[in-house]
């Protein structure tokens, strides 16, 4: 979109209106991640606009665009969701009603709630399930940006509330979401990539990494239940990957690193 043109903003608002009518829930994700300013900085139309408007920059144009699309959601009584770059990497200040989805690093979660915004935790370092298969550029024999692979234990051990000590700020962490991007996944691999790792994430997201008595849940404690869940999934035709060798599943507690 050429954000220097009013027609582009109207186009975006029309898309919002159309999809808001199709999907009647109260949430609407606006995206906003990995915005490439260079595309606009090199665009002749944008350059021409900025030259004729001395106070305009790519950042002010982007802020105006965000103001318009957030305003459209407000008019429709929708709650905006946005990736964290809108909050941390732009001059725009989102409305406090915006839910910020954090992904760049785990510290983005406490930074978001410290500013008074609600957060959905999706840190790439713990919750990006497509990572760990190397680069997808065919002339580069190296790692992808988000390697290594996120094991079910790594996912289970992540605590979205880590480094948040204020009880009011903890309440602003309203959810968590894993992500499985499609650069190196498709319908043939999706079951294997998702399950049972999502089950590990679901338990700590719903029940908490720490139980009501203050006990920190461990991977050793949950392993057998995850084995059982994996067998249930496979029995229903979902090709969930194994957690451990079959012998370990049949002999609970016997595949532990000596303490």
Positions annotated as catalytic residues are 34
Provide DSSP, 111-176. HHHHTT-EEEE--HHHHBTT-SS----TT--S--TT-S---HHHHHH--TTTT---HHHHTTEEEE
Other beta carbons less than 10 A from residue 157's beta carbon: 16
What sign has the CA pseudo-torsion 204, 206, 207, 210?
A: positive
Which string of DSSP letters, residue by residue, matches 160-176? Answer: TTTT---HHHHTTEEEE
Residues 6+ apart with CB under 8 A from 16: 28, 69, 72, 73, 76
Max intra-chain CA distance, the chain: 74
């Amino acid at each position: 979109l050429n954000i220097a043109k009013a027609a582009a903003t109207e186009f975006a608002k029309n898309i919002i209106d159309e999809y808001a009518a199709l999907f009647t829930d109260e949430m609407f994700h606006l995206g906003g991640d990995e915005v490439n300013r260079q595309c606009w900085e090199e665009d002749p139309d944008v350059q021409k606009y900025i030259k004729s408007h001395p106070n305009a920059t790519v950042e002010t144009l982007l802020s105006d665009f965000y103001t318009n699309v957030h305003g459209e959601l407000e008019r429709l009584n929708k709650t905006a969701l946005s990736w964290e770059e809108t909050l941390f990497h732009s001059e725009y200040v989102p409305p406090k009603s915006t839910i910020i989805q954090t992904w760049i690093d785990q510290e983005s979660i406490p930074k978001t709630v410290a500013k008074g915004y609600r957060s959905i935790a999706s840190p790439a370092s713990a919750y990006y399930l497509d990572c760990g298969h190397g680069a997808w550029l065919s002339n580069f024999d190296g790692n992808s940006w988000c390697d290594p692979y996120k094991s079910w234990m790594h996912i289970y051990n992540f605590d979205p509330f880590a480094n948040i000590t204020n009880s009011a700020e903890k309440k602003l962490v309203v959810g968590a979401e894993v992500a499985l991007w499609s650069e190196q996944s498709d319908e043939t691999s999706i079951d294997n990539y998702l399950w049972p790792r999502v089950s590990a994430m679901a338990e700590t997201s719903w029940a908490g990494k720490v139980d009501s008595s203050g006990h920190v849940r461990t991977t050793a404690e949950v392993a057998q239940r995850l084995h059982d869940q994996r067998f249930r999934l496979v029995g229903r035709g979902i090709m969930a990957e194994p957690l451990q060798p079959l012998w370990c599943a049949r002999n609970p507690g016997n595949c532990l690193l000596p303490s």
